[in-house]
């Protein structure tokens, strides 16, 4: 059930093995990458299974769209490899379980999916979100986070129900089949991961950035260019949907901020370090936070823009302490509309 | 009785004595499960001399006297089991001195934890005292005298171990100073003199009334952090605690096991609180505290929770407000727990016993521990919230508490601030000569046996 759409033959023939060679953390040359690839295909023990920091990047690097990362996570689970200690994994699975508290509700379009981030509902205000309905809760949680835990089985088990909940409880009777996803994880789940696992999605997902771009166009007379130098912290889940990066540039252009040209951006982005803390690899997490912040500062940024709440939680305080204002993309747009930000958390 | 009332009023003033039913009702009980027992009078003295006069009067009239701080002991120790006078110390709440350089504070016995905490924050921000996880109205003195513990107990042990000395009114009315203050103007230590302070610690108010106490203060560092280590297997807890306490850098090490929230069920959480003056120092301490647990992380059988700043906040509070919320989970204002002092090695068994008793008694389990000193022992707690308005719920909690006290004794622990019935259970197991010595001491200090009768008495 929900077999991964992965083609061994395509993988075997691949000459570049970009999925492993381009990995920023394992340091494999082409020869050793080819060896590890073979082991992964055969379901044998591989260094890649243990060293992977689960940053999703190989999904973007694969020139064939063959889902190497999902295969690797499947193999981790089959091999009994726990990237995150077992008690923490089990605890998270309990914590993020659907609570069954969803009630049928007629929402009006546009419908904004806040996933399981109720604490971010405070961001959804002002002109930018005028008329927007929000949905949030454990029963519509996208569940993609289990990729970090070698738990594709949990995704396979829970995701279809979440999709059905969104459709049955909210969208079906509300005259819309469009769902705006606040978080890259949700957009990546419904547009890239679900098809990869052969899971049907009966609605159309819109990335938050596309929505923001449209709203900024409608409100363009009210936009006051911010004139800031910003660094963007690209989240891991955006690796699933790299095309959406164009919206980041578009939004920055519309609100008059300059995206600094830094080393760890776009395809070359570095993980925020959050997942590594769960994996108990704090040394590497600290290193990544420092490298990211040093890079931002060296490029002249004075603002650090996030779209992922987890990245925000992980790096926000450290960024602020280093003199970089941490801010979510939606809040940055609201600031450009002259709205006073009261703080989310 | 009218004559006694008038004499008490003459000592403390008309406003601060009562024999009215409403006061008697309030002072007959605490939030625990013990049956109420009415006092005849309640008085609120304002000075050591007034306490002295009350005790002299009580001796003349052979009236029981029960000293009381915040009234939050939960195990009914301030219920006047034989009637008499409850001496509520809350008016004696002055902070007499803070010695910044020697890091101690002299407070009157009715000074609340909240008052001292606020005072230090305002006037001595570089100092703090060890705060117990009790409501801020709990008194500093009361907690010291019952061998309480708190947020600096890994660093410095029981609160009674943080006591430099005290002023006490003996049952026969003499005022005595114990510790360095008996000989010196400074209240810096109990050593090197013969240590008489122990005559008033853990005695449940049966040997006299403390009126002033000097307690140790500690550096209040600018940065505070917490790490929460999680395992499934309670058998691992003693070794984990041993490793953490071996580092010697934490201020407080506590464990908690609870089925609520749902995600916590089935796991042992060990909180490690530490502080530092700089970010570098904090990072250094963090790394040193994590290092001995690498084995568990590598084996994937334990790990530190990822705690974003908003999630850390409740774990950094002193006192922890989450506990107050838990105490009211059944609603109706009832809460009591068994806190048993025992070796850390008994952790797994203690936890298992808690699960079994909760299941048998139909209550929600909630157990945990505060580590005292460098793992020298722990206060292992079994908490039982109950609805005071529901008699069957009260009974259920009562049965669970009794069972827990017995089980703690059976496994080699000793119930802390034990209820009067639990004291009798302790006495049954106590060395006979020890109990005899206790009685001889009481006989000398309190020849008329007026102090909190019904406590530390055999059947």
Give one DSSP letter per residue of B9-72, joined into a string: HHHH-GGGEE--HHHHHHTT--SSSSPP---SEEE---SHHHHHHHHHHHHHHT--EEEESSS-
Residues of A in contact with B235 (CB under 8 A): none
Would you call A87 and B297 a contact, using CB atoms and an 8 Å cutoff? no
Closest CA of chain A from B310, distance in Å: 7
Q: In this structure, are B117 and B203 located in the same domain?
A: yes
Mention every residue, 6+ apart, whose C-beta is less than 8 A from residue A192.
A59, A240, A241
pLDDT of residue B21: 97
Residues 6+ apart with CB under 8 A from B308: A313, A314
Q: Are residues B150 and B82 in the same domain?
A: no
Q: Are residues B138 and B115 part of one domain?
A: yes
Q: How far is A143 from chain B (nearest CA, A)?
A: 16
Q: Which residues of B touch A343 (CB under 8 A)?
A: none
List the single residue in A with minimal CA-CA distance to B312.
Answer: A313
Write down the H helix ranges in B188-266.
237-247
Residue A241 CA: distances (Å) to CA of A244, B87, B148, B439: 6, 72, 57, 79
Query: Is B230 in contact with A345 (Cβ distance < 8 A)?
Result: no
Other C-beta atoms closer than 10 Å to the C-beta of A332 total 23
Q: Confidence class of residue A343 from pLDDT cuts 50, 70 and 90?
A: low
Q: With respect to residue B270, please indicate whether it lies within any of the assigned structural domains.
A: yes
CB-based burial of residue B431 (10 Å sphere; 0-12 exposed, 13-18 middle, 19+ buried)? exposed
* Helix residue spans in chain A (DSSP H): 8-13, 18-21, 30-42, 47-51, 57-61, 68-78, 86-95, 152-165, 184-188, 194-196, 208-218, 245-254, 274-278, 282-298, 309-321, 329-336
Query: Hey, are the CB atoms on A91 and B304 less than 8 Å from each other?
Result: no
Parse chain A into domains and list their residue ranges. Answer: 8-78, 87-212, 216-336
Contact (Cβ atoms closer than 8 angstroms) between residue B120 and residue B103 = no
Q: What is the mean pLDDT of chain A?
A: 96
- Measured in whole angstroms, the distance separating CA B237 from the mean position of its chain's CA atoms is 23
Contacts of A90 in chain B (CB under 8 A): 232, 266-267
Q: Is residue B458 part of a domain?
A: no
Q: What is the pTM of this model?
A: 0.94
Residue A174 CA to residue A108 CA, distance in Å, equals 6
The CA distances from residue A299 to A24, B183, B357, in Å, are: 20, 67, 62
Q: Is residue B453 part of a domain?
A: no
**CB–CB contact A313 B309 (8 Å):** yes
> Which three-class secondary structure state does DSSP give residue A259?
strand
From B219, B236, B271, the end of a domain falls on B219
Residue B389 is encoded by which pair of tokens?
């308005």
Query: Would residue B375 be called left, alpha or beta, if left means φ above 0 and alpha means ψ between -120 and 50 degrees?
Result: left
Are both B40 and B114 inside the same structural domain?
no
Q: Is the dihedral of CA A132, A172, A185, A80 positive or negative?
A: positive
What residues of chain A lie within 8 A of the CB of B297, using their CB? Answer: 85, 280
Cβ–Cβ below 8 Å for B308 and A314: yes
Chain B residues with CB inside 8 Å of A345's CB? Answer: 309-310
- B246 and B108 fall within a common domain: no
| Range from A113-122, A159-168, B97-106, B208-217 carrying the lowest mean pLDDT | A113-122
pLDDT given for residue B200 in this prediction: 98
Give me the domain span that covers residue B261. 222-417
Among A24, A166, A324, A95, which residue's Cα sits nearest to residue B305? A95
Please count the structural domains in chain B.
4
Comparing A198-212, A258-272, B181-195, B315-329, the range with the smallest average pLDDT is B315-329
Contact B300 A82 (CB under 8 A): yes
Residue of A nearest to B300 (CA): A85
Q: Collect all residues of chain B within an 8 Å Cβ-Cβ radius of residue A148.
A: none
CA distance B304 to chain A (A): 7
3-state secondary structure of B178: strand
The interface predicted TM-score of the complex, written ipTM, equals 0.92
Identical fold between A87-212 and A216-336: yes
Of B155, B186, B219, the domain-final residue: B219
Chain B residues touching A92 at Cβ < 8 A: 263
Q: What are phi and psi of B251, to 5 degrees?
A: -95, -35
- The Cα A341–Cα B187 span in angstroms is 52
Give chain B's count of helices (H) and strands (E).
Answer: 15, 19
The number of CA neighbours under 13 Å toward the Cβ of B387 is: 9
How confident is the model at residue A215, as a pLDDT? 98
| B403 and B296 in a common domain | yes
In chain B, residues with a C-beta closer than 8 Å to the C-beta of A94 are 262-263, 265
Q: Quick one: pLDDT at residue A345?
A: 46
Bridge partners (DSSP) listed for residue A178: A204
Close Cβ partners of B327 (under 8 Å, ≥ 6 residues apart): B335, B383, B385
Chain centroid, CA B303 distance in Å: 31
Q: Which residues contact B185 (CB under 8 A, 6 or more apart)?
A: none
Q: Is the per-residue pLDDT at A344 higher than 60? A: no
- What's the CATH number for A216-336? 3.40.50.1860
Nearest to B143 by CA among B345, B435, B379, B425: B379
Write the CATH number for B58. 3.30.43.10
Q: What is the pLDDT of residue B321?
A: 86
Architecture of the domain made up of A87-212: 3-Layer(aba) Sandwich (3.40)
The residue out of B88, B116, B141 marking a domain boundary is: B88
The rounded distance, in Å, linking the Cα atoms of B234 and B254 is 14
Q: Are residues B124 and B202 in the same domain?
A: yes
Taking the C-alpha atoms of residue B241 and residue B304, their distance in angstroms, rounded to an integer, is: 14
Across the interface, whether the CB atoms of A85 and B290 are under 8 A apart is answered no
**Same domain, yes or no: B328 and B180:** no
Gap between the terminal Cα atoms of chain A: 40
Q: Do A88 and B305 touch (CB under 8 A)?
A: yes
Residue B456 domain-assigned (yes or no) = no
Please check whether residue A278 is in contact with residue A319, taking contact to mean a CB–CB distance below 8 angstroms.
no
Say whether residue B265 is in contact with chain A using an 8 A CB cutoff. yes
A221 burial class (0-12, 13-18, 19+ CB within 10 angstroms)? exposed
Whether B260 contacts chain A with CB within 8 A: no
Does one domain contain both B184 and B266? no
At B197 the three-state DSSP class reads helix
**Which residues of A fall within a CB distance of 8 Å from B310?**
119, 313, 345
d(CA A322, CA A309): 19
- Residue B406 vs residues A150, B61, B340, B382, B421: alpha-carbon distances, Å: 45, 38, 10, 13, 11
Question: Is pLDDT of A340 > 90?
Answer: no
Position B337 in a domain: yes
Distance CA B342, CA A312 (A): 43
Per-position pLDDT tens, chain B of length 459: 899 999 999 999 999 999 999 999 999 999 899 999 999 999 999 999 999 999 999 999 999 999 999 999 999 999 999 999 999 999 999 999 999 999 999 999 999 999 999 999 999 999 999 999 999 999 999 999 999 999 999 999 999 999 999 999 999 999 999 999 999 999 999 999 999 999 999 999 999 999 999 999 999 999 999 999 999 999 999 999 999 999 999 999 999 999 888 999 999 999 999 999 999 999 999 999 999 999 999 999 999 999 988 889 999 999 998 877 777 777 877 888 899 999 999 999 999 999 999 999 888 788 999 999 999 999 999 998 888 889 998 898 899 999 999 999 999 999 999 999 999 999 999 999 999 999 999 999 999 999 999 999 998
B26 touches chain A (CB under 8 A): no
Contact status of B2 with chain A (Cβ, < 8 Å) = no
CATH number of the CATH domain containing B307: 3.40.462.10
- The C-alpha atoms of residue B291 and residue A191 are separated, in whole angstroms, by 42
Residue B454 in domain: no
For residue range A15-62, what is the model confidence (pLDDT) as tens digits? 999 999 999 999 999 999 999 999 999 999 999 999 999 999 999 999
Residues 224-253 of B with CB under 8 A from A: 230-232
Chain A / chain B CB contacts < 8 angstroms: 60
Element (H, E) at A166: none
Is there a domain that residue B67 lies in?
yes
* Residue B180 belongs to domain with CATH number: 3.30.465.10
Q: Do B303 and A313 touch (CB under 8 A)?
A: no
**B297 CB within 8 Å of a chain A CB:** yes
**B426 and B381 within one domain:** no
Evaluate the omega torsion of the peptide bond into residue B210 and state whether it is cis, within 30 degrees of 0.
no
- Same domain? For B265 and B389 the reply is yes
How does A34-44 read in b/e, with b if 16+ C-beta sit within 10 Å? bbbbeebbeee
List residues in chain A touching B: CB distance below 8 A.
Answer: 82, 84-88, 90-92, 94-95, 97, 119, 274, 277-278, 280, 282, 286, 313-314, 316-317, 321, 345
Asked if the model's pLDDT at residue A139 lies above 50, the reply is: yes
**Sheet order of strands, B377-386 included:** B302-304, B223-231, B268-276, B252-257, B367-372, B377-386, B334-342, B414-415
B369 in the same domain as B229: yes
Does residue B140 sit within a domain? yes
Rounded Cα distance between B423 and B407, Å, is 14
Is residue B302 within 8 angstroms of chain A, CB to CB?
yes
């Amino acid at each position: 059930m929900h077999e991964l759409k992965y083609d061994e033959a395509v993988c075997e023939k691949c000459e570049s093995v970009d999925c492993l060679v381009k990995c920023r953390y394992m340091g494999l040359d082409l020869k050793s990458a080819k060896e590890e690839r073979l082991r992964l295909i055969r379901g044998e023990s591989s260094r890649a299974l243990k060293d992977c920091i689960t940053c999703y990047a190989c999904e973007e690097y694969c020139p064939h769209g063959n889902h190497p990362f999902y295969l690797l996570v499947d193999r981790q689970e089959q091999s009994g490899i726990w990237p995150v200690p077992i008690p923490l994994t089990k605890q998270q699975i309990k914590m993020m379980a659907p609570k069954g508290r969803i009630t049928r509700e007629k929402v009006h379009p546009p419908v904004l999916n806040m996933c399981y981030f109720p604490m971010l509902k405070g961001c959804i205000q002002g002109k930018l979100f005028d008329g927007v309905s929000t949905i949030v809760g454990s029963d519509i949680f996208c569940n993609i986070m289990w990729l970090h835990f070698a738990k594709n089985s949990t995704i396979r088990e829970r995701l279809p129900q979440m999709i059905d909940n969104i459709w049955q409880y909210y969208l079906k009777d509300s005259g819309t089949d469009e769902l705006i996803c606040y978080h890259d994880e949700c957009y990546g789940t419904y547009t890239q991961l679900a098809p990869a696992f052969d899971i049907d999605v009966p609605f159309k997902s819109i990335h938050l950035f596309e929505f923001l771009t449209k709203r900024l166009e409608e409100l363009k007379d009210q936009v006051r260019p911010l004139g800031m130098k910003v660094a963007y912290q690209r989240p891991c889940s955006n690796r699933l949907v790299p095309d959406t990066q164009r919206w980041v540039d578009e939004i920055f252009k519309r609100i008059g901020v300059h995206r600094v040209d830094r080393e760890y951006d776009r395809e070359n982005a570095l993980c925020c370090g959050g997942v590594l803390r769960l994996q108990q690899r704090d040394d590497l997490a600290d290193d990544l936070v420092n490298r990211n912040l040093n890079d931002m500062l060296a490029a002249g940024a004075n603002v650090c823009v996030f779209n992922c709440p987890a990245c925000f939680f992980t790096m926000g305080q450290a960024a602020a302490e280093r003199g970089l204002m941490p801010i979510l993309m939606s809040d940055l747009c609201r600031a450009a509309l002259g709205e006073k930000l009261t703080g989310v958390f | 009785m009218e004559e006694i009332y008038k004499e008490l009023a003459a000592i403390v003033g008309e406003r601060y004595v009562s024999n009215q039913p409403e006061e008697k009702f309030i002072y007959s009980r605490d939030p625990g499960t013990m049956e109420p027992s009415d006092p005849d009078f309640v008085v609120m003295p304002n000075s050591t001399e007034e306490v002295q006069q009350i005790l002299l009067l009580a001796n003349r009239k052979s009236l029981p006297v029960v000293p009381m701080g915040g009234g939050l002991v939960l195990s009914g120790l301030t219920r006047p089991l034989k009637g008499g006078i409850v001496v509520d110390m809350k008016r004696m709440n002055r902070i007499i001195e803070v010695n910044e350089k020697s890091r101690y504070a002299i407070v009157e016995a009715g000074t609340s934890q909240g008052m001292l905490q606020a005072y230090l924050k305002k006037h001595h921000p570089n100092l703090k005292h060890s705060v117990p996880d009790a409501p801020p109205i709990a008194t500093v003195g009361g907690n010291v005298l019952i061998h309480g513990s708190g947020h600096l107990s890994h660093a410095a042990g029981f609160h009674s171990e943080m006591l430099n000395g005290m002023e006490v009114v003996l049952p026969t009315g003499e005022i005595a100073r114990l510790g360095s203050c008996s000989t010196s103007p400074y209240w810096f230590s109990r050593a090197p003199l013969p240590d008489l302070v122990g005559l008033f610690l853990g005695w449940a108010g049966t040997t006299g009334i403390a009126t002033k106490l000097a307690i140790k203060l500690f550096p209040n560092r600018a940065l505070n952090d917490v790490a929460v280590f999680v395992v499934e297997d309670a058998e691992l807890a003693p070794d984990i605690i041993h490793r953490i306490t071996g580092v010697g850098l934490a201020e407080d090490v506590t464990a908690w096991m609870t089925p609520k929230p749902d995600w916590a069920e089935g796991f042992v959480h060990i909180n490690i609180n530490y502080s530092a003056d700089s970010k570098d120092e904090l990072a250094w301490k963090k790394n040193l505290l994590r290092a001995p647990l690498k084995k568990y992380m590598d084996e994937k059988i334990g790990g530190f929770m990822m705690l974003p700043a908003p999630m850390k906040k409740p774990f950094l509070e002193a006192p922890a407000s989450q506990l107050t919320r838990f105490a009211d989970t059944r609603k109706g204002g009832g809460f009591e727990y068994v806190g048993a002092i025992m070796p850390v090695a008994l952790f797994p068994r203690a936890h298992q016993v808690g699960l079994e008793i909760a299941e048998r008694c139909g209550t929600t389990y909630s157990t945990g521990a505060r580590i005292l000193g460098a793992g020298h022992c722990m206060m292992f707690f079994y908490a039982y919230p109950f609805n005071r308005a529901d008699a069957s719920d009260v009974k259920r909690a009562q049965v669970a508490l009794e069972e827990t006290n017995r089980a703690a004794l059976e496994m080699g622990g000793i119930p802390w601030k034990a209820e009067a019935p639990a004291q009798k259970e302790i006495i049954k197991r106590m060395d006979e000569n020890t109990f005899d010595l206790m009685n001889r001491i009481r006989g000398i200090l309190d020849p008329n046996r007026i102090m909190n009768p019904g406590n530390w008495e055999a059947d």
